Amino acid sequence: MHFALTEQQKELQSQIHRFAQGEIAPRAEELDRKAEFPVDLFQRVGEMGVMSIPFPEELGGMGLGVFDAVLAIEALAEADQSIAVSAMVSMAAGLTVSRFGSEEQKKKWLPDIISGQKICAIAGTEPDAGSDTGGFTTRAKQLGNGQWSLSGEKAYITNPGTPISLFTLILAITSPKEDERKKFSLFLTPNDAPGYTRGKSYNKMGWRSSDTRPLYLDDCQLGDDAIVGDLDGGRHLLHKGYQAARIWLAACSLGLAQASLKHAVAYATERQAFGGSIGRLQMVQQMIAQMAIKVDTARLLTYRAAWQIDQGIDDLGALSMAKMGATEIGTEVANLAVQVSGGWGFMDDCPASRYLRDNRICTIGDGSSQIQTMLIARSCGLDVNFT
């Protein structure tokens, strides 16, 4: 196993990096301050081909692998993690439809997602249940004549309320209330579906320019043709979507960690104190050396997991190590970048401050570090009481 990039991968990485640094990075602070989703930038990401990377060619995608998508998301996140997470969530939701949806669903809903001109979401989390899918209460009631009525609430969902949001994949209980074990189905819910509304965008610590809000379903009526995959098979599909999101969230943290290291080195080189640059001080050098080691560790964990996925190797332990390792490292490295930046690091206009705020959610979303710890322990052969 090695991670020497092919010439095609080097060119892809270089193109996206140049675009991200040239067009996204200069606007990141302003977008964060205004808490504004950048429709124009996201659609430029689509024009660059980023959203099409992992989709099959017959659907209009590039037909490349997860590893290639990781390289792209890493480059986006180095410029702005908010836009990177918007891209990865839409990618994960779209791939769920690509892999498990009907031919009609793929033909109708995926072209604008793959081109990046529209964006989509996936909704599992509820106000009182996150990783515990068994605690979900949103329910789909069968009405007859191939119709369903969805009622319930989802929380902390990314991408559902932008001006270019197209649909949300919503997990709902489809088994009878009297059944001891809940069964779920995944419903492709268009943004204009009657009875489906998006709540007000949250005021967030980080990811301010991504769209995150609650969703409300009040007798939202959908047909059988809205079900993605098999009836009662939605929980499996949601977990597959979460697994895809974990590797890309690891890439988001990796890109941010790289940006934090780059910022710290530049600041330590330029900042003058005690008769010279602070970069000559051993304690500052120690912090930057620690950051460099951590960034490389995150990259190796993330690249290994992505490579294994493309090789068809089913290793949930490696995936959890990448997700937990890279996201925890992202926060650790951003925190060190704040420390190197001194008093400026505490100011909102310091990039390191934004990096620390943005990455904080990464250790929580798509399976918290505590959940990943249990999954890693299970992969080591321990008896973990976790379903």
302-350 pLDDT tens trace? 999 999 999 999 899 999 999 999 999 999 999 999 999 999 999 999 9
Whether 61 contacts 54, CB under 8 Å? yes
Whether 292 contacts 264, CB under 8 Å? no
pLDDT digits (tens, 9 = 90+) for 341-384: 999 999 999 999 999 999 999 999 888 999 999 999 999 999 88
Domains, the chain, in order of start with CATH, read: 7-118 (1.10.540.10), 120-235 (2.40.110.10), 236-379 (1.20.140.10)
| pTM of the full structure | 0.94
Predicted confidence at residue 243, as pLDDT, reads 81
Amino acid sitting at position 278: I
Binning pLDDT at 50, 70 and 90, where does residue 3 land?
low
Parallel, antiparallel or unpaired: strands 227-228 and 272-273: unpaired
Q: How many residues does the chain have?
A: 387
Q: Is the pLDDT at 241 greater than 90, yes or no?
A: no
CA distance 217 to 383: 38
Long-range CB contacts (within 8 A, 24+) of 363-370 = 363/324, 363/327, 363/328, 363/331, 365/156, 365/245, 365/249, 366/242, 366/245, 366/246, 366/249, 366/323, 367/131, 367/242, 367/246, 367/320, 367/323, 368/130, 368/131, 369/324, 369/327, 369/328
